[in-house]
């Protein structure tokens, strides 16, 4: 199914290039200039394809690395021994020494 769609797109692309070539010839451009313009269009199309493909690959790599947990912060939580509990300054996040470390309003 994908090959059929690619084949149709390729056929339309080649038909478009032939149409551009015939149109440029009809308006009076020389054949060398027409070939240069058609070649520039082909280079632009390949460049656009490479650009899109590289973005798709980059997004895929980021998704795979995220799925593997590379961007996860779970490994760093072992160093942090804070707990939510009731303490001297009310309910909040306290470290191991009993100091409240979350932002709070002492006038509450």
Structural domain for 6, as ranges: 2-67
Q: Say if residue 76's pLDDT is above 80.
A: no
What share of the chain has pLDDT > 70, as a percent? 88
Structural domain contains residue 7: yes
Structural domain contains residue 89: no
Q: What is the pLDDT of residue 91?
A: 85
Q: Which whole number is the average pLDDT over 53-72?
A: 90
- Mean pLDDT, the chain, integer: 86
Q: What is the DSSP string of 68-86?
A: TTTT--GGGGGG---EEEE
pLDDT digit string, tens, across residues 13-46: 999 999 999 999 999 999 999 999 999 999 999 9
């Amino acid at each position: 199914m994908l090959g059929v769609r690619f084949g149709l797109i390729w056929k339309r692309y080649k038909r478009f290039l032939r149409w551009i070539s015939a149109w440029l010839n009809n308006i009076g451009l020389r054949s060398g200039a027409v070939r240069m313009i058609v070649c520039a269009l082909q280079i632009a199309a390949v460049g656009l394809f490479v650009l899109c493909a590289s973005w798709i690959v980059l997004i895929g790599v980021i998704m795979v690395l995220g799925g593997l947990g590379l961007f996860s912060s779970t490994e760093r939580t072992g160093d942090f021994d804070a707990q939510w509990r009731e303490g001297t300054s009310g309910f909040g996040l306290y470290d191991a020494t009993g100091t409240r470390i979350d932002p709070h309003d002492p006038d509450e």
